[in-house]
A = this chain, B = another copy of it.
Amino acid sequence: MAKEKEVPLYIKMDEADNVAVVGKDGGLPAGTVFDCGLTLLEHVPQGHKAALVDIKKGEAIVRYGEVIGLAAKDIKQGSWVEESLVELPTAPELDELPLAIKVPQTLPPLEGYTFEGYRNADGSVSTKNLLGISTSVQCVAGVLNYAVKRIKEELLPKYPNVDDVVALNHAYGCGVAINAPEAVVPIRLVKNLALHPNFGGEVLVVGLGCEKLLPERVTKDKNNIISLQDYQGFDSMVQKIMAEAEMRLKRLNKRTRVTCPVADLVIGLQCGGSDALSGVTANPSVGYAADLLVRAGATVMFSEVTEVRDAVHLLTPRVANEQVGRDLIREMKWYDRYLELGEVDRSANTTPGNKKGGLANIVEKAMGSIAKSGKSAIVEVLRPGERPTKKGLIYAATPASDFVCGTCQLASGIHLQVFTTGRGTPYGLSVAPVIKVGTRNSLKQQWPDLIDVNAGSIAAGETTIEEVGWEIFRLIVDVASGRKETWADHWGLYNDLCLFNPAPIT
């Protein structure tokens, strides 16, 4: 539903900006004259920046009202400010950040919004009704996959209220330094994944018997553990897994959807394959939807440490109290050191696709990335894979890698993820639905059956951030209710679980 608005020729995010981004599909040619009188000296591709004024070598390049870099040489007004012209500034000094000095006022409550979910015994909810079969070690993957294939073929059709059976295979569990300080991270992930709310409280863990990550560390109830070394021959292992699965399928099959407040939802936000329009269209729309969710009482997580690091000075004033601020800085410092041990820094984040999409560096990427967080106070900070204890906006520290962040957010218990993309990715998660939001009209045109929401219409002036934000919010409610299906779920496109393991393997 395109509206009768003028297509803006460029997008300036803040009064202080000395660069602006070209929103038009295909970019704009040399000689283009803007309303303000500026003339382009050369072709500027879509998503890339044009200099609004002359910028001298060493002067700040400003976008979002923030310094995204320093000019590597003199840049003429109307030039294309391409990547090589933007020198990376130093990252914000973590020990000098102001904490909780601009805590946003509580946004006005949004009442009466509900969805149709499954109610779990512990009070949590499910957005899918899944049988999840966890593993304590990769060694069992072959046997479990064999059993799950048979469960899907022979048992699942008898239990039509169950959506699917998911094998939680991963690369951890043995051949790892289980007592290394950082081994707490992958162990927490495996434990919390086994307890995902979309499994309806049913736990089943398949282990081997001699692995380092003992299945008893994943679940305390021995009745939920199958250790393959306890069984006589292959068939008895498969029969045991199938029998335990069927007991759980029977119980899960009795569940029906009931009306639940949106406040019960835990929603994860992520971006992947970003471009310069991510921070203009998709991410601000998701930020608007995040505010709607927070106003409705839900829990919303944003993540990706290396994409927040350079914008952290904009987040620490927003934390609900100083402790939350210290927790946020703790996570930034942890990641700084982790990267340093590998002899890299946060500049290792940006991809060829980011740069092709107009993002000059990690600072510009970070400014766009944090737009997903909306405008509310940050009430809690989680280590990778930790479960939230509060409702509202939460910073869940994770790597920025799409599939690793997704796995961490699943461990943190998200019911659904909203994923923004500029370059385009078929990304999906088997445990929770993923709504994909595209940054450009051309992406939606190219991938109509993979992108769920088109925020590109904002850059084209056809819709507003508010309109797309509401569209995302409504789609979250519909998908969480099982009334609408994401494209990833429609095709069954699921990425592997990729655990974050910062400890050595042996």
**Nearest 10 pairs between A and B by C-beta?**
A210-B353, A175-B401, A142-B493, A342-B504, A177-B348, A210-B423, A177-B344, A171-B498, A349-B506, A180-B344
Mask, A362-389, CB within 8 Å of B = 1, is: 0000000000000000000000000000
A140: CB under 8 A from chain B? yes
B171 near A496: Cβ-Cβ < 8 Å = yes
Name the interface size band of chain A: 35 or more
B496 near A234: Cβ-Cβ < 8 Å = no
A182: CB under 8 A from chain B? yes
What residues of B have a CB within 8 angstroms of the CB of A348 in the complex?
176-180, 504, 506
A8: CB under 8 A from chain B? no
B496 near A273: Cβ-Cβ < 8 Å = no
Can you list 30 A-B contacts (CB < 8 A)?
A138-B402, A139-B403, A139-B425, A141-B496, A142-B428, A142-B492, A142-B495, A145-B493, A145-B494, A174-B351, A175-B399, A175-B401, A175-B402, A175-B404, A175-B405, A177-B342, A181-B342, A210-B273, A210-B352, A210-B425, A211-B352, A211-B353, A212-B351, A214-B352, A234-B487, A235-B449, A237-B426, A341-B341, A401-B506, A502-B504
Chain B interface: which of A61-69, A113-121, A225-233? A225-233
Copies in the complex: 2
CA distance A211 to B493 in the complex (A): 18
Known: A146-B492, A171-B496, A343-B181. A306 touches B506 (CB 8 A): yes
Name the interface residues of A185-218: CB closer than 8 Å to any CB of B. Answer: 208-212, 214
Given A235-B449, A344-B503, 8 other A-B residues pairs in contact with their CB atoms under 8 A: A138-B498, A182-B342, A210-B352, A210-B354, A210-B423, A233-B446, A306-B506, A400-B506
What residues of B have a CB within 8 angstroms of the CB of A427 in the complex?
139, 142
